[in-house]
Structure 1
Amino acid sequence: MEERIVETDRAPEAPVHTTTVIRERGSGGGAGIIMALALLIAVIGGIYLFSRQSASESARDNAVANAAQDVGDAANKVGDAAKDAADNLNHKD
């Protein structure tokens, strides 16, 4: 048996480059939505309370104005009654 040796020249292998891509999801995506909803509810609640307070102040101001008008009307009636009484006393003499 004959021994045979075969030699071949191969080009050196190109270096292997591996690229790894890591994608991280933004943490708190669901928490951000919950915070936005909580903020929205707080703003709506604040607007509601402010409008109720404004309506209450307006109602109070209207009540005071009506009471002042009633007092003025009553004072005019008393003045008219006093004038009529004075005129009746002057005409009897």
Structure 2
Amino acid sequence: MKDEKWRAEVERDSERLSRAERGRHSLLAQTVFLGSLSVLFVAPLLGGAYLGRWLDSLGEGYSVSWTVNLILLGLALGVFNVCLFIRKYW
């Protein structure tokens, strides 16, 4: 009786271990995931900075209002992109 119970527990544990190995992400997959997150976050931020700087250069005098506003908009958009990406793929 004990031998059968022990055998069932070992089979259950081995099945759990094999399921855990299948679900684990490799180092390369994790690196690609983090790279994608950084691009999704940084691209809108830099796009907002460059677009804001260009819009500020069109006006006369010294102004950074477009730059600051579009950087903040890019930051919000980047955070939103990262949240959506994590929900979908993680």
The TM tier, using the shorter chain, reads: 0.3 to 0.5
Q: Normalization by structure 1: what TM-score?
A: 0.42
Larger radius of gyration: 1
Q: Which has the higher helix share?
A: 2
Which structure has more relative contact order (CA 8 Å, sep 6+)? It is: 2
